[in-house]
Chains A and B, each alone.
Chain A
Amino acid sequence: MKESVMTKVRVYFFGGFRGITGKGEDEIIVPKGATLRDFLFELVRKYGAPFEQLVWSSDSKLRPACQLFLEDEEVSPDDLNREVIGKVNLFFVAAVGGG
């Protein structure tokens, strides 16, 4: 059996993610070449349903209030097939507004 090559990704939790995970950061090991979507599913596996609530809406899209930054660059919800590398910042900031 060929051993798959793994890579370590550091993730920082902001906003609601911190409350759910109880920590500010973590390291997740994923197969090299894994996408951001794979990475998010890995986090969901680790942190369970409450985490899932923050990430995915019922149509399996990134929730509007969830913002994801790869190496400090914001990633579009339509661009989750990008390879995950290095550092991920995961924001969840609930509706802010008024007028």
Chain B
Amino acid sequence: MTPGKIKEDVWIKTFCHMCLSACCGIMVHRVDGVIVGLQGDPDNPFNEGKVCAKAYGQIMTLYDPYRPTKPLVRTNPEKGIGVDPKWKEVSWEEALDLAAKKMAEVRKDDPNQMMFSSNDTTMAILNPSTVMASYGTLTYNFNDPLCANAVHPQAYTTMASFHEYPDYEYCKYLVLWGSNKGGMVQHHGVTASIDIANARRERGLKIICIDPVQTNIGAKANEWVPIKPGTDLAMALAWLNVLLNETGHYDKEYIKQYTNGPYLVKEDGHYLRDKDNNIKPLMWDPVEEKAKPFDDKFQDIAIEGYYEVGGVSYKTAFQALKEHVISYTPEWASPITTIPAETIRRLAREFGEAASIGSTIEIEGTVFPYRPALINWYSGISQHINGQWTGFVLQTICLVVGAVNVPGGTVGESTIVEYPYLSQSKYTKWTGKHGHPLMSEEGLIEPSRFSQFGGRNRGGYPARKPGSAGSLLAIGWDFFPVTFGPQGIWPISHVHPEIFNHKLPQIKLILGRHCTDLTVNMNPEEMAEATKNIFRIACEPLIDETAEFADIFFPVPSNLERQGIGTELPGFFGGTIDLKHYCVNFRQSVVPQEENIGREFLDIYGELAKRVGFLPEYNKAINIVWGLPEGYRLEENKEYSYNEIIQKFAEGVWDKKLDAFSQEGHIKWRKSVRERYPRLFHKGRSPIYFEYYIDAGEQVANFAKELGIEWDISVYTALPHYQPTVTQIDTKPGFDLIAIPFRLPVLSHVWQTLNPWLLELSEQHPWGMNIIMNAATATKQGIRNGDQAVVEAVSGYKQEGKVKLTECIHPEVVALSAHGGHWCSHPIGKGKGTQMLALTPHSLKYMDKLHSGLEACIRVRVTKKTRR
């Protein structure tokens, strides 16, 4: 190609969506219709011009020769792992007619029998809500029972935010506890890595990594603490005990003003409330020596001790917490966690000292508490059956030292959102002063409507009340009243409908868009057997395992061909993972529209709505769900393309012409100091005592009883109790190791090992596709580096692979990749590496009864198969 002959040479702004979130802005270089390069967008605050390998990998998916270019129909009625679907290419017309016929049939019978199944995180609200509302179904599956489910309830409950992130700008002591932030580039953009690097270089940030494996960030930490998987709750309780009862590192003023620690509690665990309405919890004023409702005027507030009211003695919630954790000593926790007691004690003390309780800092004219120490946790905590409680205890540690939503601490990304752009849509009512957290009648913090993305009571406080028994809703929200969106429900109920007494609708049709239930749930054989008779319509760019079970396959654009708004609202799925900015990314097809292989999902669904006969409902649902304001709404009986809808959304909701959006690539604005450090700017208190769990547990018990379902409610207590995780319970003689999953930074989604560049990178990584064992443990068993070995779980399921020995893993742990083991017909990744989740069963025993997330670990034994 010579310059003189080039007809087109353009750079197109879009965003990378190879992680869960749509963070990183990219610029794609197209010459004469061919993509020849890609780089980060320097103007994007999330990644500041940098990208990781995954961004480049997208080019190979775009040009993947195995991508179907036309709709496919299955001709082999038999479905199973390794069974050829015997695809037949058909026209769009024929495929749409077939799909519409099936959708109409199911809708006529019972629309709840169609499940929308999708974890397309750039459309996590807009697509599911539109489909469910217009088709009339209640059944939706996010497809990710292993995602960090437990993160959200604690973030919502304690800081009124969907997510939180470390304040790298001021933090000096960062504890990454079951979190690979900055090492694993997944829905934090590369921002976390940049911020950590800057913080270490400029301020000497100290990083403590508590994890069974030395993660990417763990390898660069000041200290790696190899904890036994699933025992984090024991260490967290001991750490809290050291702070409260040994070193006395707790922030009295913060506890007094910003937590429910001062609330007086009764013998039965409930608050002592005002006499008039029995609503407002009472606190003790030590100057006036009387108990008053929390919102009364106080000369001082007691946080510790016992106080007599009406002849009865009551203690404060904080006093109750102190007393409760006193038995959880480091010596008690040590044999459970395998961490020496002196290490637990030292780390707790270091953390307490680093929090600098009492110090302040002035930022933009406001004097804040300065607490430069925090714990950040993620999947390593969430993916255990005690995940929600462990997360709450870790957050309680941050709260008692006063390091939540203040400089240096852990900060909510959507606690306060004062976004100025949304001037004319329904979202206007959720921003500005409405974007501040609310306060419940009990004085506790509640997320703003904006923070809940337009929903209500998503976060788990106050506990959601159930309907009466008999409703199919019982299974979803009503068994999990103190959490976010329960996600373990569908995988479990698909495989074991008897667990829920067959109360859920029997699914006859799955409409999937980024549907991954045969790759990201537990053992795929169980899921395949349970769902083989369900009719599936797959809308995917590639045929992975789940799509291979489809009856009708519609090709949709790959990441680089899609169009849309990256984060539906700031604060959702990485919409604010930047310390100083909010940013909403835009994406557009980087190939000429006529060369785009697939059709956008809503172009397919809109066409199906028309053919089935619910176009008016579809258009009305778009109007309401997307919040299109007057002047931008769809007419009920008119057909609209996805492009037209996006135009109306961009202009009506974001006040931005599509052309301008595509030129700039994003909208960004600088956060106010209230948005960055919200604690001083709202009133609601964060709970460190979970009084509402008591009644929520009774509610669940009654509900389960009415439905005739056995349900464990022992987890519903006002204060945290140690609960062993499943690998401590579900064991057999000889199964001495615990298998855990790991991911590489270059692989976020399982399908990415179908990408040749990313697969090559992971195969060259020493861990990549191997079985990772502790060198000393393996040697005792006669296993050497490079041996072929079989990992057998207590479930009976097995995985086989090559062993890689290392000292960077807990001696009782074996780690398997969570991205290998493909069995679909796509030739790139087939048969490469292991899939950890194939070892674990779909079982209620493996589910956290508070948040419904599933356990990722299982007891195993490893045996050598052959020598190299």
What residues of chain A have their CB less than 8 Å away from a CB belonging to chain B? 12-19, 24, 49-50, 52-54, 56-59, 61, 63-65, 67, 69, 72, 74, 77, 89, 91-99
Contact = CB atoms under 8 A, between A and B. Distances in A.
A89 B620 contact: yes
Contact of A99 (B163, B616, B621): B163
A12 B138 CA distance: 16
Contacts of B470: 49-50, 53
B132 A93 contact: yes
A99 B147 contact: yes
B456 A64 contact: yes
B467 A54 contact: yes
A98 B119 contact: yes
A15 B136 contact: yes
Contact of B484 (A24, A67, A99): A99
A64 B458 contact: yes
B133 A97 contact: no
B125 A15 contact: no
B144 interface: yes
Contacts of A57: 464-467
Given A15-B138, A18-B111, A96-B129, A54 B620 contact: no
A91 B466 contact: no
Given A15-B132, A54-B471, A99-B148, 12 more contacts: A18-B111, A19-B112, A24-B616, A53-B470, A53-B473, A57-B467, A65-B477, A96-B485, A97-B124, A97-B455, A98-B124, A99-B149
Contacts of A69: 624
A95 B110 contact: no
B124 A14 contact: no
A15 B139 CA distance: 9
The 4 residue pairs across chains A and B that have the minimum distance between CB atoms: A18-B136, A97-B485, A53-B471, A57-B465
Contacts of B133: 14-15, 91, 93
Interface residues of B, number: 57
B467 A98 contact: no
Interface in B104-127: 110-112, 119, 121, 124-125
B532 interface: no
B15 interface: no
Contacts of B119: 98
Contacts of B573: 99
A19 B624 contact: no
A98 B121 contact: yes
A93 B129 CA distance: 6
Nearest to A55: B467
Contact of B455 (A18, A59, A77, A96): A96
Nearest to B487: A98
Contact of B142 (A12, A67, A98): A98
B486 A14 contact: no
A97 B468 contact: no
A36 to B, nearest CB: 16
Contacts of A92: 138
Contacts of A89: 620, 624
A59 B648 CA distance: 39
Contact of B465 (A13, A49, A50, A58): A58
Given A53-B468, A58-B468, A77-B456, A94 B620 contact: no
Contacts of A59: 465
Contact of A56 (B137, B142, B467): B467
Contacts of B128: 93, 96
Given A19-B112, A99-B147, A94 B476 contact: yes
B739 interface: no
A6 B607 CA distance: 40
A19 B136 contact: yes
B162 interface: yes
Contacts of B148: 99
A92 B50 CA distance: 42
11 contacts: A14-B134, A14-B624, A16-B112, A19-B110, A24-B136, A58-B468, A93-B129, A94-B140, A94-B477, A95-B484, A96-B128
Given A24-B614, A77-B456, A99-B151, A54 B134 contact: no
**B137, B476, B616 pick with most chain A CB within 10 angstroms:** B137
A97 B465 contact: no
B635 to A, nearest CB: 13
B592 to A, nearest CB: 33
Contacts of B468: 49, 52-53, 58
B140 A96 contact: yes
A63 B477 CA distance: 10
Contact of B617 (A24, A56, A61, A65): A24
A94 B464 CA distance: 13
A77 B455 CA distance: 12
A3 B148 CA distance: 60
B457 interface: yes
Given A53-B471, A93-B129, A99-B163, A61 B485 contact: no
B679 interface: no
B467 A16 contact: no
A7 to B, nearest CB: 22
Contacts of B124: 96-98
A29 B112 CA distance: 28
Contacts of A72: 623-624
A95 B467 contact: no
A96 B625 CA distance: 12
Contacts of B616: 24
A64 B457 contact: yes
Interface in B438-466: 455-458, 464-466
A98 B614 contact: no
Given A24-B617, A93-B132, A98-B121, A19 B147 contact: no
**A50, A67, A99 pick with most chain B CB within 10 angstroms:** A99
A61 B124 CA distance: 27
B496 interface: no
A72 B616 CA distance: 15
B426 interface: yes
A64 B140 contact: no
A15 B140 CA distance: 11
A63 B136 contact: no
A16 B110 CA distance: 10
B536 interface: no
Nearest to A52: B467
B466 A58 contact: yes
A59 to B, nearest CB: 5
Contacts of A52: 467-468
B384 to A, nearest CB: 17
B477 A95 contact: yes
B172 interface: no
B192 to A, nearest CB: 16
B17 interface: no
A57 B128 CA distance: 23
Given A14-B617, A24-B614, A54-B471, A95 B458 contact: yes
Nearest to A57: B465
Contacts of B426: 74
A14 B111 CA distance: 11
B79 interface: no
A57 B469 CA distance: 11
A53 B467 CA distance: 5
B152 interface: yes
Contact of B621 (A14, A17, A50): A14
Nearest to B130: A93
Contact of A95 (B147, B476, B621, B699): B476
A75 to B, nearest CB: 12
Nearest to A16: B138
A98 B136 contact: no
Contacts of A12: 617, 620
Contacts of A17: 136
